[in-house]
Amino acid sequence: MIFSIRRDWPALLLLAAMFVVAAVAWPSMPERLPVHWGITGEPDRWGSKPEGLLILPVTAAAMWALMVVLPRFDPGRANYAAFAGVYTIIRTVTVAFLAVLYAATIASAFGVDVAIDRVAWVGTGLLFVLLGGLFGKLRPSWFVGIRTPWTLSSKLAWTRTHRVGGFSFIALGLAILVAGWFSSVAAFAVLMLGSLANLCFVFIYSYRVWARDPDRQPPAGTLPVDGKDA
């Protein structure tokens, strides 16, 4: 079972707290609030009170609900039982990240001097580190993890790619965290370049492992039709 109150109560508590904060803060908030911050941490778009107070709680709730529902449509859904605890942690830390951002934006709206950009980048780095540390415990699925044609058609490629990819994801997260503490521009550059490098690496690495796996399978849908090339 993907969802259970016993496992998901921290995420549900955080979601409830975000909506409670929105309700409590509503009367004190101005009609126009910052809803987006540029790379330098300065607000570059303003929105209505409902948008400013509800966009992050609604986004967090929608993401959590999506992560609960998607496994039901996953052809590899039987594997979720093997990493149900890890998947719960992924849902929880995702909601926690958005809750921290929300707390920072509300504090800023009340006049507290908060470096929104630093909070966002350091939080992003920590999120990457936490998720990278969980990659090795994921099992084959179509919606969670490093999904290439080769990891989805070789258990060996999936296992090794996630183990090595987890370390590279952690390294990227640490680089984002350090850069984000000092400069949003540097953190953005690290995120973009590091993500591209990671993407290329896992594609090449997963293919190389798949090519050496004697138990590999052709990627789904690539077999000849009726024994003949389509």
Residue 62 amino acid letter: A
Output the pTM of the full model.
0.86
pLDDT in tens, the chain (230 residues): 566 778 899 999 999 999 999 999 898 887 777 777 777 667 767 778 888 889 999 999 999 999 999 988 888 888 888 898 999 999 999 999 999 999 998 888 887 888 888 999 999 999 999 999 999 999 998 999 999 999 999 999 999 999 999 999 999 999 999 999 998 899 999 999 999 999 999 999 999 999 999 888 776 555 555 545 44
Q: Which residues lie below 8 Å from residue 111, measured CB to CB, with a gap of 6+?
A: none
**Confidence (pLDDT) at 230:** 43
**Confidence (pLDDT) at 200:** 95
**Confidence (pLDDT) at 117:** 86
Query: Cα separation of 86 and 92, whole Å?
Result: 10
5 Ramachandran zone, left/alpha/beta (phi>0; psi -120 to 50): alpha
Each residue of 6-53: pLDDT tens digit?
Answer: 889 999 999 999 999 999 989 888 777 777 777 766 776 777 888 888
- Residue 37 pairs in a beta bridge with 43
**Confidence (pLDDT) at 229:** 47
- Residue 228 pairs in a beta bridge with 225
- Answer for the pair 25, 53: CB distance below 8 angstroms, yes or no: yes
**Confidence (pLDDT) at 221:** 52
CB-CB neighbours of 133 under 10 Å: 16
- From 191, 184, 67, 76, select the one nearest 128 (Cα to Cα): 191
HEC-encoded secondary structure of the chain:
CCCCHHHHHHHHHHHHHHHHHHHHHHHHCCCEEEEEECCCCCEEEEEEHHHHHHHHHHHHHHHHHHHHHHHHHCCCHHHHHHHHHHHHHHHHHHHHHHHHHHHHHHHHHCCCCCCHHHHHHHHHHHHHHHHHHHHHHCCCCCCCCCCCCCHHHCHHHHHHHHHHHHHHHHHHHHHHHHHHHHCHHHHHHHHHHHHHHHHHHHHHHHHHHHHHCCCCCCCCCCCCECCECC
Residue 170 amino acid letter: I
Phi and psi at residue 225, to the nearest 5°: -85, 125
**Confidence (pLDDT) at 62:** 96
